[in-house]
Amino acid sequence: MTKILIVEDDEQMRLGLGDNLAFEGYEVETAPDGSSGLEKILQGSYDLILLDVMMPGMSGFDVCKKSRENGITSPIIMLTAKGEEIDKVLGLELGADDYITKPFGLRELLARIKAVLRRKGPVLKDNNAIVIGNLTVYFDTYDAELNGKPEPMSHKEVEILKYLWQHQNQTISRDKLLNDVWGYEDFPTTRTVDNFILKLRKRVERDPAHPRHILTVHGVGYKLIP
């Protein structure tokens, strides 16, 4: 289930947005101010963040800036009552993905959310790399970057991640991974697959114990979720 964090100091707005998004099938958490919102962002794992700009204390701009500085890549949509171009530009320059000006209709907000989420799935770059979570993997050179820094990965780890990405949203059995990635002539075991998945989760997931991208389908295998 897609998880959204709403950071909004207006209680009526916060509760209303939360109820409506929950009704639409999203998992929703809320924060009443910038400080508590930033704490949740840094400690949790969200598919999207709705961030009010004008809040007492820590503004939405500050929260956005500090989130990006700490390696948070979750999409951020800024909620602002101001329509001046300078505010919109500033939000985008600080790392926001989109903005919506109050007052706005629910249908417009839902459309913006869906559009941003579509853009922020695993992205194929120049036909040789994907970006998932904080990890970028270059298929042609078998290089990787984690939070923008070089990250050593084995040839087999890259091949597994590439295979799962090519079959994203599909449940892939351990036997199929063994056959298609290793080849039965190598005689690996299903435990080998599990060990490689654990290594990948430590790089891809913000909380490997509670994965959101590489999921276990009990009794079958694994599924990569954008």
End-to-end CA distance of the chain: 11
Q: Which pLDDT band holds residue 200 (cuts at 50, 70, 90)?
A: very high
| pLDDT for the residue 206 | 83
| pLDDT for the residue 166 | 85
Instruction: Look at the pTM and tell me if it is higher than 0.95.
Output: no
Q: What value does the mean pLDDT of the chain take?
A: 86
**pLDDT tens digits, residue range 209-218?**
889 899 999 9
| pLDDT for the residue 83 | 61
Does 188 have pLDDT greater than 70?
A: no
Please, what are the domains in the chain?
3-119 (3.40.50.2300), 123-224 (1.10.10.10)
**pLDDT tens digits, residue range 38-52?**
999 998 888 899 999
More confident: 126 or 142: 142
Does 186 have pLDDT greater than 60?
A: no
Does 96 have pLDDT greater than 90?
A: no
209 conformational bin, left if phi > 0, alpha if psi -120 to 50, beta if neither? alpha
| Four-residue CA torsion sign, 42, 33, 7, 93 | negative
| pLDDT for the residue 121 | 54
Q: Which pLDDT band holds residue 116 (cuts at 50, 70, 90)?
A: confident
Does 73 have pLDDT greater than 60?
A: yes
Tokens of 103: 């007052």
DSSP 210: S
**pLDDT tens digits, residue range 141-160?**
888 888 778 899 888 898 89
Q: Which of 32-41, 106-115, 168-177, 182-191 has the highest mean pLDDT?
A: 32-41
Tell me: cis bond preceding 56? Omega within 30 of 0 counts.
no
Does 63 have pLDDT greater than 70?
A: yes
